[in-house]
Structure 1
């Protein structure tokens, strides 16, 4: 097979694989629950292992959920704890009771991420894990943390094990075990009519694509890029019955010859030709996508999560796109005709600022919920000035988290901006 035909075939296989994974993820959720797992205005608590805990410091999933319903945003508290398992969730002395925290947050829905730590028990531990999942589901029956309705539950499987050479000598065996535990969780969820999201299959597919950076630091703990990638799929499964309003990324296509424009995600008006190129005004109808935290090329199946612009029939030369006089992208006429990723615009910078605000809110809550120095709580410094001040400081940090929550609502903006494409001399 020649190189060109092989490249085309591989591209077709990747596209088909992507569709299959998306369908599998959708089936995993919809089989267990007819409604969208997350709804506008939900007050959400995330519990579970290191995967859950680290969601709070990257902020991609929470930012996407906030952008989904700007007029009625969700509110999230992350109670994840590194190393947690369903039957091993130890906490320090005098640590706040989880039910009290869930009640204080008026929790509507719990996203529970388990199975990674349990999977180290191997095939022999699958039945015990199933029993633990079933007991966990039953433990939430009748609980009304929001004071009006039974709390809803969403179960999330562990991710796959990424092969990283000497760091992961047993990755094939580990993936066999992780697959078994994910399947076990799925069976319990379906029987209990609880939504289940299979991140094992999704992450296994992403990890098997060797284009782009690694997803994990050690095979099982996602790095920032891994959280960016996996959060896109997790987000879509969480709002899977609201997919009609889950808009694809911005897609702008301009014909420089006749000034016709096709656009999705923004509304284009006042298109005009200039001596150096063209200009138009664009009103943002949906939020921009968050750029990946890497300078490396991302795999082909992740391209459709990124905003892009195509300009056909530009005269030969190099052209710069500026939005509100901010330089965003520079490429030659052939590159513009093929399409350019747009992810450094003022709107994208605002989305990144929102993500940083999300992370700051989560940090304030962590300070209020997970005191970092136990010696001031139960140790020798309990009666010191700093120890005596700690309860009031905890209350203040919680107040700051609540205030940050309110501020996030105002940080979701849609603007009308001036776009300009101009030929430049290099």
Structure 2
């Protein structure tokens, strides 16, 4: 039998293995590089039409990202403008120059973004397929501008409409929105940008419950749900893991994220803490049917009866031993109080910014009639000091505070 050259035989195999391993590593690195993360000193901009401008009222999108990176100094600027398109045509003023498009470019530059969420297409879709070439051109130029600033772009699809009108009109409008969503997705793919489809999730949820105001714009519950959709698509972990405590005849065992501080098995009293990596989102006031499950606390082995849970001495909920064994969802307490105050600060900061970059009497302060009231421009700049202070408070209060829970039998 003719002897084979072992080295010669192994060489091609090693090459194939090496190539396969390299491919796996490359894929792994690619997946790692797509994980969304905010770092200290990042500057996030929301750029688009009414989808973002109306968020000024609720603050859910900024709040969701703020709480995911507690303690980080991240700046958010909302440049949403109702009726706007990729050419900035809604941003016109009586002073020209700057032109509306120059105005848009100046606003993006001044914001100094590192991350830009881009939401256009809702207005342009009214032009139908005939308007696609101009839309694509404008969106490409917009991405060029963002790239030139060294910022990352994340593109969002438009959302559907469900207003009371002839069914044919709504169907045609949504068909055009789908076409534009596809165009955005295609351009994002060509340019290596992240694309998030919010059309389908909003469409499905709007069939189940009211998340649209006047059938066109999201309401408070809609923005709560949109924040959840963005979190999921950005690869962020779901809401807190369940807390589980098992009570036996002689012992108490805490698993998952709980840590026991004290226990009186005989009298059914438990004192513990629970790890909370980030604050929960405050619930919308008028719609609880879309709520994500919050922190679940599950306690098994309790004697028959009712038990009250307190958090930092605040009564949270009372339930039977059977319900505690099934798991109780926590929907109020210190964490919700903390995040509600955090949200108020975000809304206040955004209000200050809105009137700084869009003053009602812009023509008289910054425009061609600034010779009359231009002295007030200094006042607009001074608002930056207030925003800076509020941003410091937001970063300071975004970290969850330790909470001591106590479960006691009702006597």
Relative to the length of structure 2, the TM-score reads 0.80
Q: Residues 399 and 59 from structure 1, CA distance in 2 versus in 1: closer, same or farther, beyond 3 angstroms?
A: same
Q: Deviations over 1:296-341 (max 9, x none)?
A: 4424xx534x222222343333322111111112223333333222
Q: Residues 62 and 416 from structure 1, CA distance in 2 versus in 1: closer, same or farther, beyond 3 angstroms?
A: same
Superposed displacement of residue 99, structure 1: 4.2
Asked if 1:273 corresponds to 2:264, the answer is yes
Question: Could you tell me how far apart the structure 2 residues matched to 1:169 and 1:214 are?
Answer: 22
Question: Could you tell me how far apart the structure 2 residues matched to 1:105 and 1:334 are?
Answer: 54
Question: Could you tell me how far apart the structure 2 residues matched to 1:32 and 1:196 are?
Answer: 15
Asked if 1:362 corresponds to 2:350, the answer is yes
Residue matched to 1:219: 215
Secondary structure at the residue paired with 2:217? Answer: coil
Q: Deviations over 1:350-374 (max 9, x none)?
A: 1121111111111111121110234
Asked if 1:316 corresponds to 2:317, the answer is no
Say whether the 8 Å CA contact 2:71–2:396 is kept in structure 1.
Answer: no
Superposition map of 1:283-294 within 5 A: 283-294=274-285
Question: Could you tell me how far apart the structure 1 residues matched to 2:36 and 2:104 are?
Answer: 22
Q: Residues 281 and 33 from structure 1, CA distance in 2 versus in 1: closer, same or farther, beyond 3 angstroms?
A: closer
Task: Give the RMSD, CA atoms, in angstroms.
Answer: 3.0
Say whether the 8 Å CA contact 1:271–1:281 is kept in structure 2.
Answer: yes
Superposed displacement of residue 80, structure 1: 0.8
Report the structure number with the largest CA radius of gyration.
2
In the alignment, which of 384, 387, 396 is matched to residue 401 of structure 1? 387
Residue matched to 1:182: 181
Q: Residues 334 and 192 from structure 1, CA distance in 2 versus in 1: closer, same or farther, beyond 3 angstroms?
A: same
Q: Deviations over 1:48-96 (max 9, x none)?
A: 1001112233122212212222243421111111111113243323589
Relative to the length of structure 1, the TM-score reads 0.78
Greater shift in the superposed pair: 130-139 or 359-368 = 130-139
Q: Residues 58 and 31 from structure 1, CA distance in 2 versus in 1: closer, same or farther, beyond 3 angstroms?
A: farther
Structure 2 spans left out of the alignment, 5+ residues: 1-28
Residue matched to 1:255: 246
Secondary structure at the residue paired with 2:212? Answer: coil
Greater shift in the superposed pair: 92-101 or 45-54 = 92-101
Say whether the 8 Å CA contact 2:211–2:218 is kept in structure 1.
Answer: yes
Q: Residues 106 and 320 from structure 1, CA distance in 2 versus in 1: closer, same or farther, beyond 3 angstroms?
A: same
Q: Deviations over 1:161-209 (max 9, x none)?
A: 2x4656987443333222111111101111111221111122223223x
Superposition map of 1:181-200 within 5 A: 181-200=180-199
Question: Could you tell me how far apart the structure 2 residues matched to 1:415 and 1:44 are?
Answer: 25
Say whether the 8 Å CA contact 2:279–2:399 is kept in structure 1.
Answer: no
Asked if 1:112 corresponds to 2:118, the answer is yes
Residue matched to 1:332: 320
Say whether the 8 Å CA contact 2:279–2:398 is kept in structure 1.
Answer: no
Structure 1 spans left out of the alignment, 5+ residues: 1-29, 145-149
In the alignment, which of 130, 133, 136 is matched to residue 139 of structure 2? 133
Residue matched to 2:152: 152
Residue matched to 1:232: 228
In the alignment, which of 371, 378, 389 is matched to residue 392 of structure 1? 378
Secondary structure at the residue paired with 1:234? Answer: helix
Question: Could you tell me how far apart the structure 2 residues matched to 1:294 and 1:260 are?
Answer: 37
In the alignment, which of 381, 403, 408 is matched to residue 417 of structure 1? 403
Say whether the 8 Å CA contact 2:86–2:142 is kept in structure 1.
Answer: yes
Q: Deviations over 1:266-308 (max 9, x none)?
A: x422241366632223154411311321364424xx534x222
Q: How many residues align?
A: 374
Residue matched to 2:17: none
Say whether the 8 Å CA contact 1:376–1:390 is kept in structure 2.
Answer: no
